[in-house]
Amino acid sequence: MSIIEITNFSHNYGDKVLFNNTDFVLNNNEKIGLTGVNGAGKSTLIKVIMGELLADEGKIYRNPKFKIRYLDQHAEINTNQTIKEYLSEAYKDLYDVEKQINKINEQLGTEQNMDVVTKLLNKTGELYDYLYAQNFYAIDSEIEKVCAGLGITSFGLNTLVKTLSGGQRAKVILAKLLLENPDVMVLDEPTNFLDVNHIEWLKKFINSSDKAFIIVSHDVDFINAVVTHICDVDNCKISKYVGNLDKCLEIKQQKREHLEKNYINQQKEIKKLEDYIERNKARAATAKMARSRERKIEKMDIIEPPSEQIKPTFSFKCKPFAGQLMLKVDSLVVGYGKPLLNPISFEVNNGDRIAITGFNGIGKSTLFKTILGIIPKISGNSEISKNVVVGYYEQENEFHFSGTPNMYISNIYPKLNDKEIRTALSKCGLNAIHCKKQINMLSGGEQSKVKICKLILNPCNLLILDEPTNHLDVFAVDRLMEAIKEFDGAVLFVSHSKDFVNEVANKIINLEKLS
DSSP assignments along 55-66, one per residue? -SEEEEEE-TTS
Residue type, 268: K
Give the integer Cα–Cα distance in Å for 25 and 23. Answer: 7
Residue (of 505, 474, 479, 515) closest to 35 by Cα position: 474
Q: Which of 111, 144, 164 is the last residue of a domain?
A: 164
449 lies in some domain: yes
Is residue 372's pLDDT more than 60?
yes
| DSSP H helix total and E strand total for the chain | 17, 19
Q: Which of 142, 164, 186 is the last residue of a domain?
A: 164
Give me the pLDDT at residue 310, please. 66
What is Dmax (Cα atoms) for the chain? 109
Plot region of 231 (φ>0 → left; ψ -120 to 50 → alpha; else → beta): beta
Residue type, 161: V
500 lies in some domain: yes
Per-residue pLDDT of 123-179, as tens digits, reads 999 999 999 998 899 999 999 999 999 989 988 899 998 888 777 888 999 999 999
Confidence of residue 438 (pLDDT cuts 50, 70, 90): confident
Give me the pLDDT at residue 219, please. 84
Give me the pLDDT at residue 395, please. 83
169 lies in some domain: no
User: Is 491:463 a contact under the CB 8 Å cutoff?
Assistant: yes
Is residue 80's pLDDT more than 70?
yes
Counting the structural domains of the chain, the total is 2
Q: Which of 136, 164, 192 is the last residue of a domain?
A: 164
358 lies in some domain: yes
8 lies in some domain: no
403 lies in some domain: yes
Can you give the residue range of the structural domain that contains 111? 79-164
CA distances from 209 to 74, 97, 132, 189 (A): 25, 25, 20, 19
320 lies in some domain: no
Per-residue pLDDT of 219-255, as tens digits, reads 888 999 999 999 999 888 999 999 998 888 888 888 8
**What CATH number is given to the structural domain containing 342?**
3.40.50.300
Percent of the chain with pLDDT over 70: 98
